[in-house]
Amino acid sequence: MTFDPVVSLRAINNERLRRSLGWGEYRDLGGALALTSDAPIEDLNRIECFTTDARRLDGLLDIGFALLRAFDCAPAVCVTPLDRPASLVEQLRRRGLHEGERSVTMVHRGNATAIRTNPDVQARHAEPDDATTVRDIVAAGPAKWLRQLVLASTIESMQHPGHTFYIGYIDGQPAGCAHLLVDGATAGIYAVATLRAYRKRGVSSTLLAAAIGDAQAAGCDVIALRTAADGPPRALFAALGFDVAHESTLWVTPDPAT
């Protein structure tokens, strides 16, 4: 699809709103935003959303990187087509950063009723007592920090309007989940996850159909999600009617051990 800066900005703002609830803390640097958290990953400890000019960029990066180091984090920057000035990427290269993870923000262009669902999957809205179930699905691995952040964010989000969590059940057992955040006419879909034992049974598709249907019923004309630039999830979302709105690149500091 053709790049639309307005659509991309709405999707980015929705994602930032979601991150601010339990995932991390934003600080306005006066030309960019700094995101810090307790998570040991660059994606939640970075500088983003640059709106500065070339003359102020160098000093802004100095301030942002000093802040990250104060939190024991290496410099990291998320770059999207909306960031300015155009010299940002070259400045990051000069400072020794390199391209890390790439992701794509995708926007739904279809209709929820056209998504093929599995009638064996019972999708329902999660209640506050279901927060630990959401955590156990999204953070099914051993990472303690991820389990803590997912639980904190889920509990916090459930206390704010516009947030809906979905759990999909098969034979009465929780199999997958998803999170919808409606902010005005913009919706973001997050935490789409299926437990390994239930994969390839239409759990995610069924939950996405429910979330998209609710977003469309709420009057949202932008329904977005973000996923890795490469890999099966992108292909799945494309098959369900999502088109790429823009690509983001996380610029990171080289690991001194490599």
Kindly report, as residue ranges, where domains of CATH 3.40.630.30 are found in the chain.
108-244
pLDDT tens digits, residue range 151-201? 999 999 999 999 999 999 999 999 999 999 999 999 999 999 999 999 999
Q: State whether residue 51 is helix, strand or coil.
A: strand
- Cα separation, 248 vs 39, in Å, equals 20
- Cα separation, 106 vs 226, in Å, equals 6
Q: Is a pLDDT exceeding 70 seen at residue 26?
A: yes
pLDDT tens digits, residue range 48-73? 999 999 999 999 999 999 999 999 99
Top-level CATH class of 108-244?
Answer: alpha beta
- Cα separation, 7 vs 224, in Å, equals 9
CATH number of 5-106+248-252: 3.40.630
pLDDT tens digits, residue range 241-256? 999 999 999 999 987 6
pLDDT tens digits, residue range 83-99? 999 999 999 999 999 99
Closest among 238, 249, 205, 5 to 108, alpha carbons compared: 238
- Cα separation, 203 vs 119, in Å, equals 10
| b/e code 154-173 from CB counts within 10 Å (16+ = b) | bbebbeeebbbbbbbbbeee
